[in-house]
Structure 1
Amino acid sequence: KALRDQLVYDSLTRLYSRQGLIEICENKPNLCHGSLFLLGINKFRDINDSVGHHNGDQLLVSIAERLKQQFPDNTMLARIGGDEFALFMPDMDKDEDIRLTERRLQQLFAAPFMVEGESVVMKISLGIVQTKHGENMPLWLRNASIALSYAKQDPLTGICYYSPELASASKFRTQLLTKMQTGIDKREFVPHYQPIIDLASGNVCGAEALARWNSESGMSSPLDFIPIAEESGMIKAIGQQILLQACRDTYKAIENKQWPSDFQLHVNISVNQLSCPAFVDTVTRVLDVTKLPAKNLTLEITESRIIDSAPTTLENMTKLRDMGIGIAIDDFGTGYSSLGYLHSLPFTCLKIDRTFINQLTKENLDSSVVAAVINITAGLKTNVVAEGVEDSTQAQLLRSLGCHQVQGFYYSRPIPLDEWPTHLVNMK
């Protein structure tokens, strides 16, 4: 009996285990229809690292207790694994009942959980399956897992209903992930470089290294693989390859007098990378191996991603800046940073998002967001780069506003390093 209990019940929460939920549905044929809710805790790994694994386990127990208190006895509750919980509601097939359960689950997590006197707020994602999609619990759980993976990609609602179309998309995703892992192993992810121009002198003063995937199928842009790389965690390996190769290329180009000694290499990094406690050590090793001085490297992180990031993100930003590495806030203006919040960020450069550059005209010059941001950077004594410059008018307006540097297709598309000498001649 003890061995069977270990299989049927989760040892931590005493809810059903995955196997237990499957067995009870198999043993009760009347449970042939209803709705299955698969609940995942967003960023639970970060929470676990913050409060400690013992307290993380206690949070999971508290979640189980809340679920048991809030839902009727005929609800089958299970901990499927890690931070995922399943609620199977027999006979629930009306849309209004399903929506009500959605709201109840979200309200359940609106109130904070207490751990050693400290409150912890958790957000959830929901994958929902109506049992007309499939014939048994293993299939329902698989479909709910597919829906949950898509729900986690929707920061606005965090909810996704399973449909057969999702299964096809999930199959494509699995195949793409396999190809991406092969690409990582074969070092198919390479940097292309887009020049950054100093507006005062007109000279190239730096470049942004942008990831490209040079697979057997041809060259792929970041839009084809970065989102899924972020979600799957592969971005860490891809990002490290790009950082290493870009630093190596930059050191060689400076040594060969191809680039000036004060050339600034800009490399995009994800919050997944920056929030990792070992990331500063990783960057330090890359600089040691490639011999690139810290003063020649600027790391870019998207503004909107910083807001919800783990505490280690800001700590690592500060450590990197103190090492002499530049920290650029990318796509500035698309998030919701206030001026007060900017003062608390350890950055050395703001990059104005291209959407504001596209709207820049002589008529709105004085009142534009661009002018305001440039004034802010002047007060903070930081550098400012305008992205997405596409014509000479934009470049001239930005220069008149006091913008320091620009990049965009008006000057150059991102190019591989071996095309750089020829392209520079054409630019001039």
Structure 2
Amino acid sequence: MLHAKRILLIIGGGIAAYKALDLIRRLRERGAAVTPVLTRAGTEFVTPLSVSALAGAKVHQDLFDLTDEAEMGHIQLSRSADLIVVAPATADLMAKMAQGRADDLASTLLLATDTRVLLAPAMNVRMWTHPATQRNLAQVQADGALIVGPNAGDMACGEYGPGRMAEPLEIVAAVAAALGNGPLQGKHVLVTSGPTHEPIDPVRYIANRSSGAQGTALATALAALGARVTFVTGPALVPPPGGVAVVRVETAAEMLAAVQTALPADAAVFAAAVADWRVANAAGQKMKKDGTGQPPALAFAENADILAAIAGMTEGRPQLVVGFAAETQDVVEHATAKRLRKGCDWIVANDVSPATGIMGGSENAVTVIDAAGAESWPRMAKDLVARRLAARIAAALGAMADVEASGGDI
């Protein structure tokens, strides 16, 4: 996936530096050549010897190394790479980038380059959310830097929240995408999102509280990994993502038709909150009060089960079918039963009880259920959930491709 690509890896000074060792291994497994740069603070967490041994290359540390600088080595280093990766990207490194400072080898390389830069931020949650860091983040992004992570979770300092460095495989996927060779390049992924509106009459409808934020974030994350995404959305509160094919629908019946039209696909992710029922006797004209004080009698009919219909296809079924389960009690038990009943490969379950604030909110806490069991993720921003789930989908499709290529012998 990264054969013959040259990665300049800058390792900042933070506890997450230990993950950089695994990142080096993962990059080299995929054919990349890694040239490591270790900051002075970084040496407090990992040793030059361990970094050099894993990279199979010299570790660069000092801006004023006479051998290298006789030939302007820092200029050569900064421009000979296909991509510069900073992992961990500390608050200090991001501040130096935003301000254009160049007082050590790492910051000088970052200022002297015209090569694309990918940052994997890692820091204490309060440092990450501080207005200064957010200003610096906005500035480096405006200057063209790419960002992967950070994730939310427990931290070495004992606090919890966003600030954990992205996992090595997430960074590898971001590297591949940045180099135009994302792990989902050439794959078609179908995503449904948002609520459906089932009409009662021309001006009234039955709906739910889904904002469409999680489906939108997921489509964005999949497209960032190189996928061709078809995004089938009900009347969501959030705007659809850019760079994807958007199909707008209103009802469950329209969504099913749009999904069937979008096939074939390598994977299908059903994040939409589809109404289970529709009004069978929807009125053609606006219903009026009749003066009796009695409400109109509404007859309901069950909508087609989109997830089960696609998961149960005998021909043309996507390799990976992922459903979502919004529950308010016994979340894992109900979602596990739903996965078996629907016949899908994975179910992404969450608790949408009003007290959680998840439905219509900016965060999510999900449990991914597959044939091997249930994997619960900590509560995090919906875009972080999306990136993590997209990376998992990419890994699954890659493994399926390997099995097919080997004739099923892996």
- TM-score tier, shorter chain, comes to under 0.3
Higher helix share: 1
User: What TM-score does the superposition give when structure 2 sets the normalisation length?
Assistant: 0.26
User: What TM-score does the superposition give when structure 1 sets the normalisation length?
Assistant: 0.25
